[in-house]
Structure 1
């Protein structure tokens, strides 16, 4: 069965664009002097605004200079912290110069060299914190960007500011090689590397049509307010942040502020008066937990529960008093936060409902780099509260299928739409494995309910298959274990017994040491911590069928190895 978006008659109308160049041009015309980005000239300083006119003009200036340097048609990498220069460089490259290759800022030097070589890059833009890494890397053109730039010194060659100043002069003299360049919406313009960089890395090939169709689709079912501001905190090289956290926001005429680092998030939310936060479940689950821990410390748990009850009652009568009722909660997040957008992994449904009970809306979604990235999401006009465990409806221009379903309706998720990648760079065989008859085989498992809502159950390659042929989804067991307050994080996997041939369910746990210490005072005693967790897991096991029960527990003393979007890398953390 093929599933399509059931809300097609309720979607918001959006303007039609075919390229990101058209998006920036229309943004300049429609929103002009409205702020597009908020940045800081120095760390700890005040936010400054850059409007849509300046954004478009800066992209044109940088693109013009890069064309003049003979970089047309070349692959150009961008790496570094989230900042204005990063986004302008991205837009300039894809809007007429060549192909952009966004790189993960957490990569080692060896991995960076490997990816630059694989992508055949002729130039790289990097923030100044990477200057020592790039000092002896052999690449024809290296351009340094500044995250904070109190005093612009465009006279220094090979800097972003210098290129910008030179490009402005060329535009002033009538150079229109970049601005007049016609773009093919279907031409490869982005090369995005997925995980696996120590082996043969895979680069996802995307075009303008892929990105803009997704930007439009998201805007068809989530409408932002005129004065919304997002705080950019996720790695900017990732499509979740660049497409959803930035491009959707710009497309709708809203603004994006760049944060100074994770420990400054609350401070930056307040300074930027941010209303939107795009993040991953780990961030939001931590935020939610802190709200209740703070209430408990202040002996305000009962009052907070009463406030939630009042909010729900008033809401039934169409009265929105959440700003007054939850003033103390909102002040912890800058005072203006109204919406959270989560993706990259499944989020605890109780956290979704919990935030909504506090008057903060939360939008869920599911996507992959290969889909630019969104496959499904929860529209404004849907029951997000009742569907808290779902990743939503398929995007309006896409279609879903569930292949090889088991008795519970769970199977592999297949997706078709204009946002599906063109393929993997120089890997036709790998491309043919995952794209068949236009359908992208995601490798993710899930099911669709009677109303067309998608629910994720795990990754196909993570499924534990027992000797009797039973399938166990690690993510399901992890969700049960996450209810134990003494577990910070966990990873479930299968362990084979060499003697019996049986597959048992094992779990690695990073304990919530602070919580354990606060309640029991023995966080430094490994034996007591192990006994506590073993007893709690025994209680959880009683809720599970025999074959799904956890039999083997490993306590971790170190954090899990993760991706930059905070997903646990299962293979790299595996302990038998």
Structure 2
């Protein structure tokens, strides 16, 4: 059942917290003058620090302004690019104002409206770049415009008032009151100076609703995951038992900030430990920002690591150093196997391409190829994999940093169950694969206004039915094999797990990504695949850029060869080559329901 002999892995320097207000006060007391965030005054400028004391000051000022506006107990949405103003808003709302509703900035206007209605929310904070999506949403009563650049870095400097005039946004939501974030902070600061301490004295109930987070599905009736402070703080402490993050660490925030993975692990946990976060300017600036920020930690999805590793491989290939690179990898693995670790010295040039100080990668939200996992470990960079879901705030399990590195910390596993959680597997098949259930203090309160859906997900004993399939080995390590709803059942009754096949075929240098799915072939359900080709590699192999017909022939040939490594019932019978990328979630997972083949 759950964990077996894994207590030996846990770090014990844990500061007990029950609310995010406690967490912030404790961190300010311990690390007040340390940088909490790194921001840019303008595009292309260097990163400058915002310390913990200024962070708390701005949270208090914004919270005071919101309470004065009558927002106590209200649901308040926040949407946009990850930035200092976003996280200050989040903490100002949950630490004494009301309930925060993070919204995905990639959604369309109708989808955003759908979520606001579902959450009973009429106030939204939004970064300027995304405000156009709010046009025509008549239900919005208050719009607060945020900025990515230009935050102050000293408490002696008056808060910068709105860079843009709020009036230009009134045409988007004509029935709403429109403010700039900085004007609200300035107003709150004035109230504090005049003795208004109502927000400061607010008591926070650790078990009351604090956050409504919507899962990826936003059509129809969206599911709003309800979280309280205790859910979040329990998970923060449990993750810190798995991964050692000292106050000297610096992260680069890359992933969408509305997602619980980035918000809990990439923001709140970092603040709990007294470390700091720099904000990435956008996906295409990742490598540039890593060099500027010189971050020691990144929290990413596998696709980001695949992109970085792809660039490393290309540089090696273009330099004609493939043979030497493979030899170095082999020598280094031999040294590591006998306890000699000089990886960072051997691969100094590789690490320099990632800023020069990267020591730890935390990855989750999708499966990471064991080959890429081992490669980063060979470079001297620790890789920890996690498994979780929004309903668990998010972490269910993770690779303990203290596990033996010379064995690659069981590459392919998503680690062991968090300290205060339990996992078990039900309805196991002959291979021990079944549905994973989880129980712990980080499990959600339920779905907002959806008692029936809540009861379907959480049973009477508190076990969350994850819908994920996998098994747990004798040491308590979890291995995932797929989603129960994605299983393909062949005519002979065999179960085919699409994720297993995707991981296998994605190792091909000619395949950038793939989606395996059930395909009706002559009245029978067979295994089909959509392929996104790695065009540079295909062009290099053929000696020219292929037309559509030649590309289709080439990819079918690759699949025929790869099929030889699969059991007969798992072999792919139908191949479809994509010209455009898959529709993805903001954490870069393929949205299977939105990538179905259209009938011609």
- Aligned ranges for residues 163-562 of structure 1 at < 5 Å? 163-312=184-333, 315=336, 320-383=341-404, 385-436=408-459, 437-497=461-521, 499=522, 501-562=523-584
1:68 offset after TM fit, Å?
0.8
Output the CA distance in 2 between the equivalents of 1:395 and 1:12: 13
1:536 offset after TM fit, Å?
1.8
Residue 12 of structure 1 contacts residue 223 of structure 1 at CA under 8 Å; is this kept in 2?
no
After the TM superposition, which of the residue ranges 4-13 and 128-137 deviates more from structure 2?
Answer: 4-13
Equivalent residue, structure 2, for 1:154:
161
1:559 offset after TM fit, Å?
1.0
Output the CA distance in 1 between the equivalents of 2:224 and 2:208: 15
Output the CA distance in 2 between the equivalents of 1:308 and 1:489: 25
Output the CA distance in 2 between the equivalents of 1:196 and 1:325: 45
Output the CA distance in 2 between the equivalents of 1:386 and 1:189: 36
Aligned residues: 574
Residue 257 of structure 1 contacts residue 272 of structure 1 at CA under 8 Å; is this kept in 2?
yes
Residue 19 of structure 2 contacts residue 229 of structure 2 at CA under 8 Å; is this kept in 1?
yes
Q: Give TM-score, length-normalised by structure 2.
A: 0.93
1:26 offset after TM fit, Å?
0.4
1:496 offset after TM fit, Å?
2.5
Residue 302 of structure 2 contacts residue 363 of structure 2 at CA under 8 Å; is this kept in 1?
yes
| Residues 5/229 of structure 1: CA separation in 2 closer, same or farther (3 Å cut) | farther
Residue 351 of structure 2 contacts residue 379 of structure 2 at CA under 8 Å; is this kept in 1?
no
Partner secondary structure for residue 33 of structure 1: coil
Residue 2 of structure 2 contacts residue 476 of structure 2 at CA under 8 Å; is this kept in 1?
no
1:250 offset after TM fit, Å?
1.5
Q: Give TM-score, length-normalised by structure 1.
A: 0.96
Partner secondary structure for residue 96 of structure 1: coil
Output the CA distance in 1 between the equivalents of 2:429 and 2:151: 60
Output the CA distance in 2 between the equivalents of 1:359 and 1:243: 26
1:311 offset after TM fit, Å?
3.8
Residue 274 of structure 1 contacts residue 334 of structure 1 at CA under 8 Å; is this kept in 2?
yes
The RMSD of aligned alpha carbons is: 1.7
Q: Deviations over 1:316-370 (max 9, x none)?
A: 6765544432121112111111111100001101110111011111110000000
- Aligned ranges for residues 129-144 of structure 1 at < 5 Å? 129-138=129-138, 139-144=140-145
Equivalent residue, structure 2, for 1:100:
100
1:53 offset after TM fit, Å?
0.8
After the TM superposition, which of the residue ranges 288-297 and 276-285 deviates more from structure 2?
Answer: 288-297
- Gap runs ≥5 in structure 1: none
1:427 offset after TM fit, Å?
0.2
